[in-house]
Chain A
Amino acid sequence: MARTKKQSSALRRTFRALGRGELLMSLHLDKYFLHIIYTFLLAWLSIWLSLKVDNTLVKVQRGKQALTDIKIYYTQKAVELESLNRLSTMEKMLEESGSPLVLPEQPATIIRNQ
């Protein structure tokens, strides 16, 4: 009975301290004030770093995409150039441009050093 009364009194004191904003003081946690601040700082730092990492990864992802785009661009240009390399295409282009150049009638002569 006495114990219950004691508990009820402690609870009342706790709520009173909470109401007055003195809970931490009443628990004598003021001596850990710096630690509490430090904990909050760490939590904030963790969140901030996480966001920074996310931002960096977004940039990495953008970089990857840019690299892929360049590769695609390069491949498509290579394909375009290669298609111009066809004998009959070259002949047609030369003909259209009015060039007298045509396919060789005879194989190329080779000059060999002795």
Chain B
Amino acid sequence: MANGRNTPKRRNNFSSSPDIAAEATEAGRDRIGIILAVAYWVFLILTAVILGRILLIQFTWKPDPTLAKYLRPHNEKVTLVPQRGMILSHDGRLLAVSTPMYQVRMDCTVMKEENKIKKPEVEQIWLSEAEELSKGLARIYKDKTPEQYFALIKEGREKGRKYVPIGGQIDHETLQEVKALPLFRRGPNRGGIIVESLETRQYPYGALARRTIGHVRNNSSAEVARNKIGIEGKFNYALHGQEGIEWMKVTDGRRYIHNYDSAYVQPTDGNDIRTTLDIDMQDIADRALRHQIEDNMKIEGGCVILMDVETGGIRAMVNLLRDSVTNQLHETYNMAVGRIGEPGSVFKTTTLMTLLEDGKVSLSTEIPTNHGYVKGFTTDAHIYDYERENKTDKISVLHGFEISSNYVFRKLAIDAYGSSPKQMIDRLYMYKLGEAYDFDLDGFSTPTLPSPESQYWSDTDLGSVAIGYSVGETPLHIITFYNAIANKGKMMKPYLVESIEKDGKVVEMRGPTVLNGSICSRATADTLAKALNAVTTEGTGKKVKGAKCSIAGKTGTARIVLPAKYTRKSHRPYEDEQGRKQYQATFVGFFPVEQPRYSAICVVYSRLDREIFYGGTIPALTIREIVDNVYAIDKENGEVISELHSLPRWAMDGEGEESAKTAQLTRKQDKKTPTL
């Protein structure tokens, strides 16, 4: 390196020209040397300063704690939310699926300070862009006019609002449109757009079976305890999945990336639930019930269950309850499994089954009419009319069943079991009408049956139980019993969940379960089917006569015990002071009679009124509409045409002769097809 010590001695003016050139070179070197020396010293000093600062910061400097968190390397623990499992119908159609929805907000103060420093024209450009944005928002959200949106943004900017909500929740596709709007397309830092992702559950079929499918407010475990509704709630353990953990770090470019130096726990997505529900049948049942009760404001609500006879799988479960304010029907409470009521005459079938099984009567057994009077009970007006019309003092069990005579069943029960009522009650327990067995939904109510050994047992209880009073049953209990009759005495446990699946593979098969292998003999089941068929052809269930396929069933009309506030003055449990009553009207049965495939129940609850609602009217008509439509869409019911010869087809490569043959078809009635 050149320095002062090596400076060459000055030469005199008489030096030769090579000496002059050498001198000039030496001078140039000196200059470069000086520059390098200065640069070296600058770097040296800077190094000393930096080293000094490092030592100072390392050992003495204590940063402000609020500032410190921004100075440390940012490493954030992120909980990875698992994808909640889907709920599928029995044929794999989507009933519930999780997908995020988005809430857009706006930081109206964005670029405000920066624009102030610049020229006022820049702020004007921002505002004109905000005006364009307002037009776009009004077009997409359709909840405000462009002027209202612009006023919202302008006011927010003036008042320094940084979190102004824009419209309601939108889906992913709409979000892309919003993001492409003027101003918002500049991103969060320059455009002020803030997007919040909200995990939501989508139900493609809207309100259909909503109470059965249920809901969990969000996919977190904490919320479940408060919102454990339907299949979503009961099978949350399978649907939810397992959260994962990921550590994220910030790059120099302020981007979040996965930190591979930290632990990573992969989330496990939830399993899918395949239900027994048939969404077409659900739609049919929902529409039929709405059709019957929607415009009748005297009806509080109703429910329908459609069950597969062979397996007990529930194909449709409708629960429509009228909103007291709007009078609209909504799926707000699962009456089918949760509402206990006195079932009324549909319970007479249990009495008849017990009598038949114990060999006490046959359908042709005749009993004296006795003007419809049984000691301790009011006179049965049906019998009085029957005596008058038929000029007889005897009535058969079958006819008593057809006209749903209270007298006949009270008398039969009292005569057969008056001395041993426990025998009859025990039978009811055997029919699974006294317990809430394990079911795929929470809130399945336990039925109430009186006990002859209880101090509350009275002399009239047996006669009441025989006709469906003094007992409390849910619609699901009743249909399960009737389903067993259709299934030749084999009682299947009703169920809603067919299997739990993962990526299309079955993880847990739940399938059909037998509740009671034989609640009655095959002969008794056949006799009861015959009696139920008589009800729909000759008796109280005539409204279903003429349906596209034969239906066997029973009607039931029961008064509902009113709350004490209504009966305080009337002193009657079923009547208020104005003589108004509430009814529970039921129709339950199965179809086709010859080879039952489905059993169905419709229960309708009336509001307080003077009008009587019979099971043979609205519920029977609902079931008929359901049967007509279900029958028509079920290909199993279709006529089978057998091919005798090949069908005509296009001639190809000289196969004309064969293809030109006239096809002859013969129609053969499939053995499975019921006779209509």
Proximity string of chain B (616-652) to chain A, C-beta cutoff 8 Å, 1 when within and 0 when not: 0000000000000101111111111111100100000
Least CB distance, B256 to chain A, in whole angstroms = 7
B252 at the interface (CB under 8 A from A): yes
Chain B contacts to A: CB under 8 angstroms: 1, 3, 37, 40-41, 44, 93-94, 97-100, 171-173, 202, 204-206, 208, 251-253, 255-258, 279-280, 283-284, 287, 548, 629, 631-644, 647, 665, 670
A8 at the interface (CB under 8 A from B): no
8 further contact pairs, Cβ within 8 A, besides A55-B251, A58-B253, A114-B644 = A57-B258, A72-B100, A76-B173, A76-B202, A83-B204, A87-B280, A107-B636, A110-B640
Which residues of chain B have C-beta atoms less than 8 A from A22's C-beta?
1
In the assembled complex, 19 residue pairs joining A and B whose CB atoms fall closer than 8 Å, in A order, are: A20-B3, A21-B37, A22-B1, A51-B252, A54-B255, A57-B251, A57-B257, A58-B253, A60-B257, A61-B257, A73-B173, A79-B202, A86-B206, A86-B208, A106-B638, A107-B632, A110-B635, A113-B643, A114-B644
A58 pairs with B632, CB closer than 8 A: no
Which residues of chain B have C-beta atoms less than 8 A from A85's C-beta?
93, 204
A60 pairs with B258, CB closer than 8 A: yes
A100 at the interface (CB under 8 A from B): no
Which residues of chain A have C-beta atoms less than 8 A from B644's C-beta?
114
> Would A61 and B252 be within 8 Å (CB), given that A72-B99, A76-B172, A78-B97 are in contact?
no
Closest-by-CB residue of A relative to B284 is: A87
Closest-by-CB residue of A relative to B43 is: A21
A104 pairs with B1, CB closer than 8 A: no
A88 pairs with B287, CB closer than 8 A: yes
Which residues of chain B have C-beta atoms less than 8 A from A57's C-beta?
251, 257-258
A109 pairs with B638, CB closer than 8 A: yes
A18 at the interface (CB under 8 A from B): yes
A103 pairs with B640, CB closer than 8 A: no
Candidates B37, B94, B171, B252; contact of A54 at CB < 8 Å? B252
Least CB distance, A21 to chain B, in whole angstroms = 5
Complex CA gap A83/B548 in Å reads 29
Candidates A55, A69, A78, A103; contact of B632 at CB < 8 Å? A103
Is chain A's interface secondary structure helix, strand, loop, or mixed overall?
helix
Candidates A58, A88, A105, A107; contact of B634 at CB < 8 Å? A107
B641 pairs with A112, CB closer than 8 A: yes
Which residues of chain B have C-beta atoms less than 8 A from A19's C-beta?
41
A76 pairs with B171, CB closer than 8 A: yes
Closest-by-CB residue of B relative to A87 is: B283
A101 at the interface (CB under 8 A from B): no
Within 8 A of B (CB), among A74-113: 75-76, 78-80, 82-83, 85-88, 103-113
Which residues of chain A have C-beta atoms less than 8 A from B257's C-beta?
54, 57-58, 60-61
Least CB distance, B676 to chain A, in whole angstroms = 10
Which residues of chain A have C-beta atoms less than 8 A from B37's C-beta?
21
Taking residues whose C-beta sits less than 8 angstroms from the other chain, chain A's interface range is: 35 or more
B172 pairs with A73, CB closer than 8 A: yes
- Give me the 5 closest cross-chain CB pairs, A-B, nearest first: A82-B204, A57-B257, A107-B638, A107-B637, A83-B204
B641 pairs with A109, CB closer than 8 A: yes
A88 pairs with B635, CB closer than 8 A: no
For A19, A75, A85, A109, the residue with the greatest tally of chain B CB atoms inside 10 Å of its CB is: A75
Least CB distance, A107 to chain B, in whole angstroms = 4
A78 pairs with B44, CB closer than 8 A: no
Least CB distance, A78 to chain B, in whole angstroms = 6
A18 pairs with B632, CB closer than 8 A: no
Which residues of chain B have C-beta atoms less than 8 A from A73's C-beta?
172-173
A88 pairs with B283, CB closer than 8 A: yes
Which residues of chain A have C-beta atoms less than 8 A from B643's C-beta?
111-114
Complex CA gap A92/B35 in Å reads 89
Which residues of chain A have C-beta atoms less than 8 A from B642's C-beta?
112, 114
Closest-by-CB residue of A relative to B260 is: A57
Candidates A61, A78, A88; contact of B255 at CB < 8 Å? A61
Complex CA gap A19/B44 in Å reads 9
> Would A110 and B94 be within 8 Å (CB), given that A54-B251, A61-B255, A88-B283 are in contact?
no
Candidates B44, B205, B634, B670; contact of A86 at CB < 8 Å? B205
> Would A79 and B258 be within 8 Å (CB), given that A85-B93, A108-B638 are in contact?
no
Complex CA gap A54/B206 in Å reads 45
Which residues of chain A have C-beta atoms less than 8 A from B252's C-beta?
51, 54
Which residues of chain B have C-beta atoms less than 8 A from A108's C-beta?
635, 638
B632 pairs with A75, CB closer than 8 A: no
Complex CA gap A107/B94 in Å reads 25
Which residues of chain B have C-beta atoms less than 8 A from A83's C-beta?
204-206
For A21, A58, A80, A112, the residue with the greatest tally of chain B CB atoms inside 10 Å of its CB is: A21
> Would A110 and B639 be within 8 Å (CB), given that A20-B1, A61-B256, A83-B205 are in contact?
yes
Which residues of chain A have C-beta atoms less than 8 A from B665's C-beta?
111
Complex CA gap A55/B257 in Å reads 9
